[in-house]
Amino acid sequence: MNWSSLTSEELIPACIDEGDEAAWEEFVRRFRPVIAGTVMRTARRFGDAAPQLMDDLVQETYLKICANRCRILREFKPQSEESIFGLLKTVAFSVAQDHFRSGLAAKRGAGRQESALDSYVESVVAGREGLPQVEREIFLGQIDDYLAAGGEAVTPERDRQIFWLYYRHGMTARAIASISRIGLTQKGVESAIQRLTNLVRRRLVESRLEKAEGKSSANSL
Amino acid sequence: MEEPGTRHLTADEVAGLIGRDGPEGISEERATHASSCDRCGRIIAMHQEEHMRLQRLAGGPRGKPTDTCPAAAEWASLAAGLAEASRSDELLAHASRCDACGAVLHALVEDFSEEVTEAESHSLEAIESAKPSWERQMAHRMAQASGRGRVIPMPFMRWMARAAAVLVAVGAGWLVWDQWIVSDPARLIAKAYTQQRPFEFRIPSAGHAGVRLERRGMGSNFQRPPALLEAEAKIARELEKDPDSVKWLALRARADMLRWDPETALGTLQRALERKPDDPDLMADLGMAYALRAEAQNRDVDYGYAIEYLGRSLKAKPNSLEAIFNRAVVYERMYLNEEAAREWRRYLDLDTAGAWREEAQRRLGELDVKKKSGRQP
């Protein structure tokens, strides 16, 4: 049997039902890049991607996949051909995260105070210049009011979420478009961002002008 | 009517100028007006300032996830496109308002969606698990683990169904006898536990006792309480007759744990779980076995597995006092004090009296003291 010619949807039942070592070898070979890649990126965010550790975590991921007679794979209902890759990424992430969470718990026992996801979260905001905390809180509230003022007709909930993912969390339009539930292409996301950015910025400037001039400057804009 | 050269810039024209290097968004005549009009210049400067402030929203320190924040695994599900539609909507709504969760989602979406770079590819090829020999070894282990999952042929299934029908017909008298046999070693193990409680975790049906810290389990035959020896002998006899019996495997694992041999208990429980994958009691015991191995071998990663299996068990049996108790202890071990306190409170809601409740109250009180004093244990 030429296992490498099977699609992933055909290969997985073959692995589970036949238990054939050659089929599993194809499974390990085919999905190693996605598993090892996820493990490596997650480990880097937690600050430790030593080769030995990566090997251990890759191995743990495979073992987790085949635990309880491959329960994870048996219960999985793929929505598309790509779904299996998403599943394996989540398993690899959860194995890596468990490892660092446990390790950090031990360090906290030795007097360190940070929570498990601190270094993970820091990896996202590192190097970005931010606003002073109080100013940021006020600014967020102000923008939220402007976005809410138009209601669902002017600023649909999805567009508001896109706006926050982009500005508050610094995600790129491409990354936002990759969240399948958003349901837009990158261009669609960019267009939503542009529209709400213009709206918010105009309101912010109007507010400043009103304060400065004591009257509305909406007509001039 | 105003001349085109003197008319102030419109909102769209100003928007066209912001965030760009030059005035490509408007005509030359309008750009000339923008550069010569004080009012328009001031407004453009304000737009640029607000633009910069918006850009800086994503920087700076982040808060920590709270008790009400979804688990990281849920964000992974969303990023991988595996979460259900309604849950995805809830998660997106939460992420858009929560700095910590938004950052987690950001990282996951980035890590899951971006192509592997050349540098990453080099790193991945350099590790041991990239070697064909490693892959073959792994495949061998996976084939072994899944080998028992072979599809049972249909004629055999039909035969099994007939056999089951006969067994049901033989039924009631046997059931009574069987219950008596099962409960006996279970009761003996519970008794042995209460006599020499060897760890902080609870086992089902056992009375309360203080933990005996001076000894690491009931190691030698000499140390073992007679009740445990008797139970082990009965379990061994039953397993000799039926080596795959889930109930006897589960009891043997429990006896292994009392002897502080979590490694053997894990193997036995995995074997039992392969035969009865959804059994909440097996999963609860497996959670306890992982927690014991974490302690015995200083393997912190096992606490994560302990939480996972206890969580699965509680999903099926949400009011299991032993599982809630044990999960609270595991959280304490992981220094996740808030989660532990939440679990103890849940326990106290369900267990209204008795020594186990008193222990839960004491432990919750100790966590409160730690919280007030602001120190980690």
**Comparing C-alpha atoms, which of B312, B315, B293, B314 is closest to residue B302?**
B293
- Chains A, B: CB contacts within 8 A come to 312
B180 or B220, greater pLDDT: B220
pLDDT exceeds cutoff 60 at B229: yes
Confidence of residue A79 (pLDDT cuts 50, 70, 90): confident
Distance of CA B313 to the CA centre of its chain: 12
Residues 6+ apart with CB under 8 A from B363: B328, B332, B340, B344
Position A215 scores a pLDDT of 53
Interchain CB distance below 8 Å, B149 and A94: no
Using the beta-carbon criterion (under 8 Å), do A102 and B135 form an inter-chain contact? no
Distance from CA of A187 to the nearest CA of B (A): 17
Residue B24 pLDDT: 58
- Round to whole Å and give the CA distance between B322 and B347: 9
Of the listed ranges A198-202, B42-46, B129-133, B217-221, the one predicted with least confidence:
B217-221
CA angle B183-B189-B190, nearest 5°?
85
Residue of B nearest to A207 (CA): B46
Q: Above 60 in pLDDT, residue B70?
A: yes
- Local structure of residue A219 (DSSP, 8 states): G
Of residues B321, B222, B341, B221, the one with CA closest to residue B280: B321
pLDDT tens digits, one per residue of A29-76: 999 999 999 999 999 998 888 999 999 999 999 999 988 888 899 888
The three-point CA angle B298-B303-B305 to 5° equals 125
Q: DSSP 3-state assignment of B375?
A: coil
Residue contact B111–A41, C-beta within 8 A:
yes
Identify which has the larger pLDDT, B217 or A22: A22
Find the mean pLDDT for residues A148-167: 89
Banded pLDDT at B234 (limits 50, 70, 90): confident
**B373: pLDDT strictly greater than 60:** yes
Q: How far apart are CA B353 and CA B290, in angstroms?
A: 29
What is the structure's pLDDT at B226? Answer: 79
Answer with the residue of higher pLDDT: B212 or A109: B212
- Which has the minimum average pLDDT: A17-31, A146-160, B182-196? B182-196
Q: How far is CA A189 from CA A124, A182, B2, B25, B75, in A?
A: 21, 9, 37, 20, 20
B232 — pLDDT class (breaks 50, 70, 90): confident
Q: Shortest Cα distance from A7 to chain B (angstroms)?
A: 18
Q: Does A62 touch chain B (CB under 8 A)?
A: yes
Q: What is the pLDDT of residue B165?
A: 58
pLDDT of residue B155: 43
The interface pTM score, or ipTM, of the predicted complex is 0.90
**Contact assessment for residue B28 and residue A87, using Cβ atoms and an 8 Å cutoff:** no
Is the pLDDT at B154 greater than 70? The verdict is no
Three-class secondary structure assignment of A75-119: HCCCCCCCHHHHHHHHHHHHHHHHHHHHHHHHHHHCCCCCCCCHH
Query: What integer is the mean pLDDT of B251-278?
Result: 87
Handedness of CA A68, A94, B78, A8 (dihedral sign): negative
Residue B95 confidence (pLDDT) above 90: yes
Determine, for residues A170 and B106 on separate chains, whether the beta-carbon distance falls below 8 Å. yes
A218 in reach of chain B (CB within 8 A):
no
- Nearest Cα neighbor of B328 from B312, B306, B296 is B306
If you average pLDDT over each of A101-105, B157-161, B226-230, B332-336, which comes out highest? B332-336
Residue B353: its pLDDT value, please?
84
pLDDT of residue B6: 65
Confidence label for B2 from pLDDT (cuts 50, 70 and 90): very low
Helix, strand or coil, per DSSP, at residue B147: helix
DSSP string, B292-315: HHHHHHT-THHHHHHHHHHHHHHH
Query: Which pLDDT belongs to residue A183?
Result: 94
Higher pLDDT, B146 or B280: B280
Of B81, B146, B308, the CB nearest to A86: B81
As a whole number, the mean pLDDT across chain B is 82
Which of A209, A170, A166, A203 lies closest to A188 in space, CA to CA? A166
Q: Which residues of B touch A44 (CB under 8 A)?
A: none
pLDDT tens per residue, range B306-325: 988 899 899 888 889 999 99
Residue of A nearest to B64 (CA): A118
Indicate the average pLDDT of chain A: 86
Give the list of residues 6+ apart from residue B372 with CB closer than 8 angstroms, or none.
none
Q: Are B300 and A180 a contacting pair at CB < 8 A?
A: no
pTM score? 0.60
- The DSSP result for B237-257, as a single string, is HHHHH-TT-HHHHHHHHHHHH
Sequence-distant (6+) residues with CB within 8 A of A43 are A49, A53, A54, A57, A96, A100
Taking only residues 178 to 217 of chain B, the set having a beta carbon closer than 8 angstroms to any beta carbon of chain A reads: none
Least confident of A68-72, A142-146, B250-254: A68-72
* Closest alpha carbon within chain B to A168: B58
Q: Is B88 touching A (CB cutoff 8 A)?
A: yes
Q: In a 3-state reduction of DSSP, which class is residue B350?
A: helix
Single-letter residue type at B317? K
Q: Residue B147 pLDDT more than 80?
A: no
The CA angle B358-B362-B366, to the nearest 5 degrees, is: 170
C-alpha–C-alpha distance, residues B29 and B375, integer Å: 67
Judged by a CB distance cut-off of 8 A, whether residue B271 touches chain A is: no
Element containing residue A117 per DSSP (H, E): none
pLDDT confidence bin for B66, thresholds 50/70/90? confident
Determine the pLDDT at residue B112: 94
Which one, of B145, B302, B103, lies nearest residue A66 by Cα? B145
Q: Within its chain, how far is the Cα of A53 from the centroid? A: 23
Average the pLDDT over B144-153 and give the result. Answer: 53
State the Cα–Cα distance between residues B144 and B134, nearest whole angstrom. 15
Q: How far is A150 from chain B (nearest CA, A)?
A: 17
- Residue B183, C-beta contacts closer than 8 angstroms, at least 6 positions apart: none
pLDDT at A41 (0 to 100): 95
Looking at residues B52-59, what average pLDDT do you find? Answer: 90
Q: Give every CB contact of residue B113 below 8 A, 6+ residues apart in sequence.
A: A174, A175, A178, B79
